[in-house]
Amino acid sequence: MSSSSDTATPASSAAFAAEDASAKIEPHVWRIAGVVIIGMVMSILDTTIVNVALDTLGRDLHSPIAEIQWVVTGYLLALAAVIPVTGWAARRFGAKRVYLISLVLFTAGSAACGFSSSIGALVIFRVLQGVGGGMIMPVAQMIMAQVAGPQRMGKVMGVVSMPAMLAPILGPVLGGVILQNLHWSWIFFVNVPIGALALVLGWRMIPHTESGPAGKLDTLGLLLLSAGCVGVVYGLSEMGSNGSLLAPSVVWPAIAGLALIVLFAFHAPRVPRPLLDLGLYRNRVFTAASLTTFGLGAALFGAMILVPLYYQQVRGESIIATGLLNGPQGLGALVAMPLATRLTERFGGGKVALAGVSLLCVSTLPLAFVGAGTSIVLISATLVVRGLSIGLSFMPAMIVSFAALRRDQISDATPQLNVLQRVGGAIGTAILAVVLQRASEHALATAHSGAAAGGSSGAAAGHALSVQLAGAFSSSYWWALGIAALALIPCFFMLRVESPASDSGSEAPVGAPEPAIEPVGA
């Protein structure tokens, strides 16, 4: 006796088999991902390597910290200025060509930085480095989305993002080894062979993809958006160095930058092909995922500056030891990222991201009670949990944002997601830098006054200072907990608007045409 369910079973099995086959990732996609990883890691690694060398650069180039800071600030401003134009450039010249050009600029800039003999030359070549580095990440993501397809983007990025998570942790360790054994110029020279390898492999293995029609360059939009991003990033960077939220060098650039961005928002709908398509935000799923990316950038990257500074200032650890003690966070992220991909496919990005940010809040609490003698084992275990929260937070937002798009929208989406993540990270970092600086100044004043009044010995005074500084980090982590709690809000939004996987076609047409891909080596 036959039933309707019996007759439906073979068809359902065939449908699921077809779905699994379409979701299968071919070997050539993984090979391209491996090539792209090299360039991504190089650009991320460079930032943290340079950060540990600022004191050495100041001594060797006979420059005060106010001038040396431009080695970092100039790089960040170049990143902010160039990211908005990457979408148009990829459509106009092809993603592969733009990616290769960005590698050439970054590698040439690295070599020039290493040969620099003055602070002025070093800053100029860091800007050149930033122009290349700013394009590497969004164009690399664009290439992978076009090759793998948005529906398979999550699985691919789960692997691609693992080395990228290790790069900020390995940076201080590698930088410390170089500074202890070689001249500071090798911090930049180390990029040259890596960049050359990435360039050769990219030339041979990355296919040409079609990103859609470029149209005429939106020159006014480029001026408004690039200048706006530069203004905001510059103001935020000045916040960290001035130690005040209301300093004129912080407020006016940030306000001017925001005003230019608002002007771009009014300008974009009035031109046929704007620099960035803000119409993407009519897609509620993409909007929710974008806001989540922004909130996570502020919550995660801001707090990342606290642990290394704690180990160095309170515990007196070396640069190499500090980098190794940050390792547990990277290990946690490595474990969580592939797991987050599978969980997102099963439960949806909103639920997984909400669980990840909740875990971030819980793992921040022990650090809010950190002291001068807190067990390093306890701190390391906490960092493992924080690493798990990083993987469980970022991956779902990325998967959901790309899955909600058509392939022709990817060239607009990747720069926007990168800008939101970087600006969010800059805001979180600037706020916590100001909080930590003020708390540290108060701690130093309290420790010195206590030592002067009590006539303490050198060892006792040093211990008292460590206790006071640990209190400064403890109060900073309460702020970090507040920022993490705010990041829960966009996760709830994403949970509310996210369509089930079976209904994703309502937001992102599954039948969108595949990108035109020329054979590898063409």
Which whole-number Å values give the CA distances from 389 to 162, 298, 335, 355, 482, in the listed order? 14, 14, 10, 8, 16
223 and 177 in a common domain: no
Count of the separate structural domains present in the chain = 3
Q: Reduce the DSSP state of residue 517 to 3 states and report it.
A: strand
Q: Which helix (H) or strand (E) holds 243?
A: none
What's the rounded Cα separation, in Å, for the pair 450 and 446? 6
What's the rounded Cα separation, in Å, for the pair 458 and 440? 20
Q: What is the pLDDT of residue 53?
A: 80
Say which DSSP state 498 is in: P
471 and 364 in a common domain: yes
**In a domain? residue 376:** yes
236 and 180 in a common domain: no
**In a domain? residue 459:** yes
Which whole-number Å values give the CA distances from 491 to 66, 301, 354, in the listed order? 38, 17, 5
Q: What is the pLDDT of residue 335?
A: 84
Cross-strand partners of 517: 209
Examine the fold and report which residue of 156, 182, 207 is the final residue of a domain before the chain moves on: 207
What's the rounded Cα separation, in Å, for the pair 385 and 377? 13
Q: What is the pLDDT of residue 161?
A: 64
Q: What is the pLDDT of residue 373?
A: 87
176 and 253 in a common domain: no
Q: What is the pLDDT of residue 193?
A: 93
Say which DSSP state 209 is in: B
Q: What is the pLDDT of residue 10?
A: 43
Q: Are 439 and 472 in contact (CB under 8 A)?
A: yes
Task: Answer positive or negative: Cα dihedral of 269, 271, 272, 276.
Answer: negative
Beta strand extents in 297-427 (DSSP E only): none
Q: What is the pLDDT of residue 3?
A: 42
235 and 349 in a common domain: no
What's the rounded Cα separation, in Å, for the pair 190 and 226? 30
pLDDT in tens, the chain (522 residues): 444 344 444 443 344 344 444 456 778 888 888 888 888 888 877 777 787 787 788 888 888 766 777 887 788 788 878 888 888 898 889 989 999 999 999 999 999 999 998 989 999 999 999 999 889 988 888 888 788 765 676 667 666 666 666 666 677 778 878 887 888 999 999 999 999 999 999 999 998 877 677 778 889 999 998 899 888 888 877 776 666 667 788 889 989 999 999 999 999 998 888 888 888 888 888 888 888 888 888 887 778 778 888 888 888 887 778 778 877 887 888 788 778 888 888 888 889 999 999 999 999 999 999 988 899 999 999 999 998 998 888 888 878 887 777 777 877 888 888 888 878 887 887 788 788 888 888 888 877 776 555 555 556 666 778 888 888 889 889 999 999 999 999 999 888 887 544 344 434 433 333 444 443 443
Burial (0-12, 13-18, 19+ Cβ within 10 Å), 321: middle
**In a domain? residue 133:** yes
355 and 304 in a common domain: yes
Examine the fold and report which residue of 274, 291, 322 is the final residue of a domain before the chain moves on: 274
pLDDT digits (tens, 9 = 90+) for 429-448: 778 878 888 888 888 887 77
Nearest to 135 by CA among 86, 196, 97: 86
Q: What is the pLDDT of residue 188?
A: 93
**In a domain? residue 6:** no
313 and 170 in a common domain: no
What's the rounded Cα separation, in Å, for the pair 520 and 370? 53
**In a domain? residue 350:** yes
pLDDT digits (tens, 9 = 90+) for 96-111: 999 999 999 999 999 9
**In a domain? residue 284:** yes
338 and 270 in a common domain: no
Say which DSSP state 510 is in: T
Parent domain of 369 = 277-510
Structure tokens at 160: 């691609």
What's the rounded Cα separation, in Å, for the pair 12 and 14? 5
Structure tokens at 14: 């065939």
198 and 133 in a common domain: yes
Nearest to 399 by CA among 141, 147, 130: 141
489 and 368 in a common domain: yes
Block residue for tokens 């800008």: 419
Nearest to 325 by CA among 335, 339, 314: 314
Buried b (16+ CB within 10 A) or exposed e, 190-216: bbeebbebbbebbeebbbebbbbebee
At residue 313, what is the residue type? Q
**In a domain? residue 516:** no
Q: What is the CA radius of gyration of the chain?
A: 24
User: Which residues, including other chains, have CB under 8 Å from residue 322's CB and lie 6 or more apart?
Assistant: 172, 176, 308, 311, 312
Nearest to 175 by CA among 194, 155, 189: 189
User: Which residues, including other chains, have CB under 8 Å from residue 372's CB and lie 6 or more apart?
Assistant: 314, 315, 463, 466, 467, 469, 470
Q: What is the pLDDT of residue 511?
A: 35
Cross-strand partners of 209: 517
Examine the fold and report which residue of 155, 182, 207 is the final residue of a domain before the chain moves on: 207
Nearest to 298 by CA among 432, 412, 396, 179: 432
203 and 340 in a common domain: no
266 and 308 in a common domain: no
Cβ atoms within 10 Å of 226's Cβ, excluding its own: 20
- The per-type count for the chain, helices as H runs and strands as E runs, is 23, 0
HEC secondary structure over 77-136: HHHHHHHHHHHHHHHHHCHHHHHHHHHHHHHHHHHHHHHCCCHHHHHHHHHHHHHHHHHH
Task: Answer positive or negative: Cα dihedral of 348, 349, 355, 358.
Answer: negative
**In a domain? residue 464:** yes
Q: What is the pLDDT of residue 515?
A: 41
Q: Where residue 331 sits, what CATH number does that domain have? A: 1.20.1250.20
